[in-house]
Structure 1
Amino acid sequence: MIRFLLFFTISLSLASAVLAFLTKEKATQLNDKLASTSQLLGVSKNENSKLKEEKKSDTAKLDELGGVVQQSKDELEKMRTAVSASEAEMAKLKTVVQTAEAKAVDLEKKLAEKPAPAPVAMPDPATEQLVASLKADLEKARQTASEEQQKVALKLQQAEAKMSQMAPKPVVASGKNGDSKQPLSGEVVAYNEGWNFVVVNLGDKQGVTPESKLLIQRSGKILARLEITDVQPKFVTAGIVYTPGISSRERVRPGDVVLFAPKVELESEAERGGFNVSNLFPKGATSQ
């Protein structure tokens, strides 16, 4: 019996020790978990604080953007108001112009019906303004035309100077018996597409006159005839009349051959587009 009690006591002590060890181990694990949970809770609090700060910043930015949008809306409304005012003013001006035009028509009718001088009336300010505007536009157009004429004159002077330096050499095509009446050939030295004219290095020294017939030729094909507008000793200026059916690639350009036959009628053949250079000019006159 004593042995049994002793064995039971020892077993109970061992069980208590094992249970105490297990309880301590469990408590240690729980403490570790609690510490980890506390750390995570601290991190979450920090993240939550950061999110709150970011939310405040985003809210401030949204408020700022809202202010900008509102300012833009106000500016847009002002612009719309200004546009409406401009349209109203334009409508008023149109009405004034229409009234002035109606008065002008009525005045013309009255003048046509009554040739006798009418009593001098007070000038209408709107009419005077319209007349002044038309005069200003006319003066501007005249000035633009004068400037263009000056540009053309300058280009002609430059072309003349260039041709003087180039010492143009028109070619005389000689016949079998040295006939001096064979046609001459020169070339286009300047071309203005806007004004549709060319400068050719043939002049009155070669017998060219305002009535002379000049043809522009390239690769044996007649591209256009020239209407001479000015004759100088060493060059002429002329307008271009293209042969029907000429494409944009066959437009005149500097270097094209110009044929001159003083006593041969070329106009009708060039206009029909059936002109054959080899039948009219000898080979020497068309090859350069």
Structure 2
Amino acid sequence: MLEWSYSGVNFSLKGNGGPDCVNFLSPTSIISETILIIIYSLVAEIYYPWTRSISNYKPNLELRERFGRKLLLASLCLIWGIEIGYKLSTRQLIFILNPCHVVTFLQIILLISPPRNWMHILFRFQTYVVSGATIAIIFPVLNTRILPFEKASYYIHHALMLVTPLYLMRLGGIYNMEPLSNFHWGFISIGFMRLYHYLVLQPISFMTEVNLNSIMCPAVSDPFEGPWYRIAAHIHQTLFILLHGKIYCIIGQKFFVPKQVEIKTVSVHDAKKLIDANGNCIEPDGYAENFCFNSEKLSNGSNIKED
């Protein structure tokens, strides 16, 4: 019934699929790798207490409503729509199941949806698995892209994927990364992606003979081509996903994360005022409206800086 979604896949192109790709690995190798990886992934998902890391902080809504968010959202939706259009026109919509398209969909949700605590989980997950976009740029698979602008669309799409987490970090609040010494989010993301590959992509690939995300045979640009290419991928991708995620932590904290506000209490005659690190007055809960707006001096004689 869904043959139209993959009937246009050209199996004569290396790494695209077909009988040779299906038979690239022995059944014994496929079964043993699948069992081992699924066990590892389930252990990672059960062991790491990911539900305890949900943030209760709200993002900077003023920054969220800036033009940059709308521009990024429009650009991401446009280029993703173009990619889907290519796949529809060539009857290769099945490739929409590849991880980069799934991550793009998650990023669009993050840019569209109002902030909720559960989005904290989604943000950290996509910040790790977006490493696939970097791999796609370093080792591009372009031999299947023959339509006008299709190769340019490939690079623009993956570049926008890499920009999105940094922009979200700029909003602050729930869009934040864990400390550099904490690796549990990285292993959670790796475990989930392994389950997606082996429980979703692999069965569909063998049923359709379409090589989704190189699960049946190596891509044309894979430097580890050979009978052990999947084992090699597990090793180097585990290391790369963790490294890539921590690089995002460093870059985000250095250049994109809003500076945390240091709050202190000062006296104004008989009242208390909350003053941040920049000298701005913060209205405390339970006080009259416009509490901060006056010309009083602090107990140490300095003027209050008002917004």
- TM-score, scaled relative to structure 1: 0.21
Q: Which has the higher contact order (CA 8 A, sep 6+)?
A: 2
For the pair shown, the structure with the greater C-alpha radius of gyration is 1
Structure having the larger proportion of residues in strand: 1
- TM-score, scaled relative to structure 2: 0.20
